[in-house]
Amino acid sequence: MSFAKFYKGIVTMNDGSLKKGFIEIPEYPDDAKLKFRTEEKGNNEKLDIDTVKGFEITNQNGDVIRFITIYAAEQWNKLSIDKKKSWLSIVKEGKINLYRAYNSGSPAMSGAPGSGVSGGYTYYINRPNDNFAIYIDETFSGLTFCGNCFSQMKKTLSKIFEKDCPKLVDLIEKDDLKKNGYVRIVELYEQNCEK
């Protein structure tokens, strides 16, 4: 059985105030509460997701991992936005943003980002002015197990960017994404879709 791991970090509340202390990464992206302590061995305070703008933790490797609260969405025939916010980690921000959620597939959070244990991620694209991020793909241990996921992701991106950057989807290549990761979508957008 795993036990809770608290990381040194800072929580940013919606009103702009900061809470410095120790944070447990939420077990699931849609957990309603964030466990916070002012002291490492102190009592838990549960912060409601709707009162938190985001947080950052420093993992055991000294890496800073930033999270935001945002609505997750899916773009199939029409845009469907969740009614509750999710905790998503920031992969890359720019003219568009790339976020991801950790999916352990089990209740244990031992595979939390930065722990060195393999797990899966769900990736989302966001436009900076939107309060939601749209699902684009899912991986497990860095691999995707869906036969037509790449073409499905391209269809989704085509719908997202059909008005402001229709050529983006043609610039995305499977081997490029495998080699460089989903950050390439943000880079390609910035290189080719600026007005």
Residue 145 confidence (pLDDT): 53
Model confidence at 161, pLDDT cuts 50, 70, 90, reads very high
pLDDT on residue 150: 85
133-147, 149-163, 165-179: least confident range: 133-147
9-45: pLDDT as tens digits: 999 999 999 999 999 999 889 999 999 999 988 999 9
Cα atoms in the Cβ-side hemisphere of radius 13 Å centred on 181: 12
pLDDT digits (tens, 9 = 90+) for 64-118: 999 999 999 998 888 999 999 999 999 999 999 999 998 765 433 333 444 444 5
User: Domain extents for the chain?
Assistant: 6-192
Q: What pLDDT score does 119 carry?
A: 67
pLDDT band at residue 151 using 50, 70 and 90 as cut-offs: confident
Q: How many CB atoms lie within 10 A of CB 68?
A: 21
pLDDT for the residue numbered 34: 96
pLDDT tens per residue, range 171-180:
999 999 989 9
Q: What is the CA radius of gyration of the chain?
A: 17
